[in-house]
Amino acid sequence: MTTPSLAPPVRIGKAAVGALGMLAAATGVLEAVVSPTLPLLQRELSISRAEGALLSIAMLITGAIFAPIAGNLGDRHGGKWVITRLMTVVVAGGLVSAVAPNLPVMLLGQVLQGAMVGAMPLSFILVRKYLPPGESGVAIGVVSGLFLGGGMLGTLIAGPIAEGLSRHWMFAIPTFTIIVATLFVHRLMPNDPPARTGAKMDWPGLVLLSGILLTLMFVLAMVPDAGGQPLVFGAVVVFLAALVAGWVYVERRSPTPMVDLRMLAKPAIWSSYVITFAVCLGTSSSMFLVPQLFEVPAEAYGFGASATDIGRYLLPGAVAAAISGPLSGVLARRFGASAVVATGIGFLSATLVGMAFIHTEVWHLVIGKVLVALASGICVTAMVVKTATSVDHGDTGTATSLVLVIRVIAYAAGAQLGGAFLTAATPAGSNIPAESAFVTVFVIAGVVTALSLLVVRTLSKGVKE
């Protein structure tokens, strides 16, 4: 496959970065509309809670698969060439979701929408090619922050649009915005040349990696009930290990591997992935626990908050998450990624442990959620920037897409960790878990996050800060 390209200019302007940011915000909105309207979708599509749970994670699973594929294709064929075609898939998914009359069609739309996760590593490819290192870090932070900001906006407007217009429009409006933003990217972003001219796609590696991600998600979903079916759980874990071994074998022998294992062996890369996993697991645990704690009846130890109240309490944290991306890019440029990450991890782990023992007032949890969102966003964005600048240009998409994949896996693992402890601590005949379960998970999340400090110094090995 040949890709037409022009010689890249020295740099791009703010308008081009703004177009990428607009696209990130629009995809963030589309990604977020299902979660707050899930009860409405369950009613209108006549689906059960279990089927609703499947609908809520369909995009998450397919996004984890799409991200490395999109990043790899972007490295091979150019970021702009791939992102415009990828958005065609996303737009198709948004339109299918908008008109879906039943669950199978809605699931198809969500699977297609999962391609949007691949837009992030493709955007990182483009800003790194056309901006100097310091400015590219800030631009990556801006794009990441606008994606989170779009998610916050989608969470806020999905319900009013669905109830005031219809569920169809909550998918259609952000989809039309994605079309406009894609046209701006196509118009303002120069054609970037492929970084790996003539390289063939590693199909065996792609199939095995997809199998690994799907099986891993299945393993995480089984964790809360693993004790009830240990043989099945053990068999799935063994199958996962076999897939990993097969993937490593294939990638080591492929002339054009999907993921260069030598790249993963770089200290700056593997340490970035370890830190990303620990930080996101801790963050996800708190994201799961805080709404649950708000909902616990006031006569027990909670606050008896309604869904509307919970949304209002979580809003400051969503705002903090939105500004954390640009802030991280600026701080990393000024103080270095390692210093920023170490500080963020310190704040995050201290906040998580603090929330374990101080959660008797609503404002305790609101402030804790703000600090968690801010520290986590700063750390993860700094990891994306560090990863992008620690590899050759031809590996930018692949390396950064794996950060996003690890983020998805860690979020799933953190939620399952919280769910398993709360389920185990709920007495028979009751739906209120023991308060000690919240304390335990908050402490575990804080300790896991703090342990990632052990590898922060490794970030600077082999690369310039």
pLDDT digits (tens, 9 = 90+) for 349-393: 999 999 999 999 999 999 999 999 899 989 988 888 788 778 776
Residue 170: its H or E element: helix 167-188
**Domain coordinates of the chain in residue numbers?**
14-188, 203-257, 259-460
Chain centroid to Cα 144, Å, comes to 10
Helix (H, G, I), strand (E, B), or coil: what is residue 308? helix
Neighbours of 238 (CB within 10 A): 10
User: Is the pLDDT confidence value at 107 over 60?
Assistant: yes
Joined tokens for residue 153? 């906006």
Neighbours of 462 (CB within 10 A): 11
Share of the chain above pLDDT 70, in %: 89
Cβ burial of 316 (10 Å; 0-12, 13-18, 19+) is middle
pLDDT tens digits, one per residue of 48-106? 655 665 676 678 777 777 777 777 777 777 778 888 888 999 999 999 999 988 888 98
Residue 65: its H or E element: helix 49-77
pLDDT tens digits, one per residue of 435-453? 999 999 999 999 999 999 9
pLDDT at 7: 44
- Could you tell me which residues come within 8 angstroms of residue 26 by beta carbon, excluding any fewer than 6 positions away? 150, 174, 177, 178, 180, 181
User: Is the pLDDT confidence value at 460 over 80?
Assistant: no
Mean pLDDT for 3-30 is 72
Check whether domain 14-188 has CATH 3.20.20.70, yes or no: no
Say if CB 287 and CB 376 are below 8 A apart.
no
Joined tokens for residue 192? 């970037």
> The pTM is what?
0.78
Of 181-190, 209-218, 308-317, 418-427, the one with minimum mean pLDDT is: 308-317
DSSP per-residue string spanning 228-268: GSHHHHHHHHHHHHHHHHHHHHHHHH-SS-SS-HHHHTSHH
Mean pLDDT, the chain, integer: 82
Q: 259-460: same fold as 14-188?
A: yes
Check whether domain 259-460 has CATH 1.20.1250.20, yes or no: yes
Higher pLDDT pick, 464 / 46: 46
User: Is the pLDDT confidence value at 115 over 90?
Assistant: no
Share of the chain above pLDDT 90, in %: 21
Mean pLDDT for 139-148 is 79
